[in-house]
Structure 1
């Protein structure tokens, strides 16, 4: 059994998708970000980075007792190695998957997060401050990442040919946030997104996540958002 410490975040859904795709028995352990629970290792399976996702594998391969893994990219690699699925064993194919996994965790994820922040939070935090430069910068960077991805998918179904942990890592951010010019400007990404969204394991991951009543606000797609009031009170207080 694997515990996934869960909040409705694209980074957490990466792991939820992988657990479903790899058919690994698991349970979701809700983490209330608005109460700062992610900063308490005791409430995060021993994770000390102050972030979700975190997993605790109660049956690790070495048989030496529960093992905690933090950081979404590292978790996906761990699960791929544990199961031997969605992470190729041949040198070139494995390297390709790892390159695009790192591209996601170092690029479209954090840049997407900052884009979302300046669209949604900055006007509320500092309504009289001119955020136009930051918003323009992150919107431009986010669109360039989507263009890179659209070019990559021009001649292949998935980022590395076969469906892999790199696709699982990238999908939740593409599903959550689009560039200012809209997804129709990126037809290859749209085709890729729709194909992954139709996968039974992906549908199951989101259904289980959304079944957890966090009480959080939802966006126009019905996806739970981080709690504005409670989260911001905690951020300001710390």
Structure 2
């Protein structure tokens, strides 16, 4: 059994995408980041960076005590290695998969997150900052589209953890949509993943955990999410 500490955000969706595809037994432990649950002492023992998601695997491969993992990319790699699925076994395919996984972790995710912050949540509009992140997200989507002109999935083989990491970061902000009309290969890839039954199940779990997902944040939620620590 795996405990998934989760809230329906792009990084949270990455892990439910894997778990639903793999058919692993898991239970969700909601971490309401709008109320500061990520700062609670018990959670910090699992995720010391006070971010979500995290997992606790109660049946690790070494047969030892339950094993906790934080950081979504590390979780995906751990689960792929645990199951032997969604990552190629050959050195070249595995290396390519990890390249694109880390590309998402170090580029697309942070840059899209900053784009969303300054276009949707920031208390004041700063044109330079908005334009800077819009340009960078557009550049990264171009990188992704060029890769997908050559391959069906990011590893160059089958659907895998690099795709699971990247998919939730496309079209994140309904209030600040990004024009993707020029990226036809990305659109094909995105539609193929969206049509997978496990993707539908994964996103349904998010709606169960937080039926209010997508609604504007309250002032208190913004203070908790974008401040330092709840009082």
TM over 0.5: yes
1:206-234 alpha-carbon deviations (Å, 9 max, x no partner): 0111112x363525xxxxx7x44222232
Question: Match of 1:230?
Answer: 220
Question: Match of 1:147?
Answer: 142
- Cα distance in 1 for residues equivalent to 2:204 and 2:45: 23
Structure 1 residues 24 and 45: alpha-carbon distance in aligned structure 2, compared to 1, 3 A threshold? farther
1:62-85 alpha-carbon deviations (Å, 9 max, x no partner): 111211000000000000000000
1:50-105 alpha-carbon deviations (Å, 9 max, x no partner): 00000011111111121100000000000000000011111100000000000000
- Cα distance in 2 for residues equivalent to 1:70 and 1:208: 20
1:15-38 alpha-carbon deviations (Å, 9 max, x no partner): 110111111111111111122110
1:114-166 alpha-carbon deviations (Å, 9 max, x no partner): 000001111xx2x3xx5100000000000000000000000211112221100
- Cα distance in 2 for residues equivalent to 1:144 and 1:228: 32
> Gaps spanning 5+ residues in structure 2: where?
none
Regions of 4+ moved over 6 Å: none
Question: What SS is found at the alignment partner of 2:164?
Answer: helix
Question: What SS is found at the alignment partner of 2:51?
Answer: coil
Question: Match of 1:86?
Answer: 86
Structure 1 residues 209 and 44: alpha-carbon distance in aligned structure 2, compared to 1, 3 A threshold? farther
Alignment of 1:96-111 (within 5 A): 96-111=96-111
Question: Match of 2:190?
Answer: 193
Question: What SS is found at the alignment partner of 1:195?
Answer: helix
TM-score (norm 1): 0.89
Contact in 2 for aligned 1:44/1:54 (Cα 8 Å): no
Contact in 1 for aligned 2:46/2:70 (Cα 8 Å): no
> Gaps spanning 5+ residues in structure 1: where?
220-224
Question: Match of 1:16?
Answer: 16
Question: Match of 1:218?
Answer: 214
Residue 183 of structure 1, CA deviation: 1.9
Structure 1 residues 46 and 92: alpha-carbon distance in aligned structure 2, compared to 1, 3 A threshold? same
Structure 1 residues 215 and 153: alpha-carbon distance in aligned structure 2, compared to 1, 3 A threshold? closer
Question: What SS is found at the alignment partner of 2:181?
Answer: helix
Contact in 1 for aligned 2:69/2:75 (Cα 8 Å): yes
Structure 1 residues 207 and 44: alpha-carbon distance in aligned structure 2, compared to 1, 3 A threshold? farther
- Cα distance in 1 for residues equivalent to 2:192 and 2:11: 20
Match of 1:134 among 129, 134, 143: 129
TM-score (norm 2): 0.91
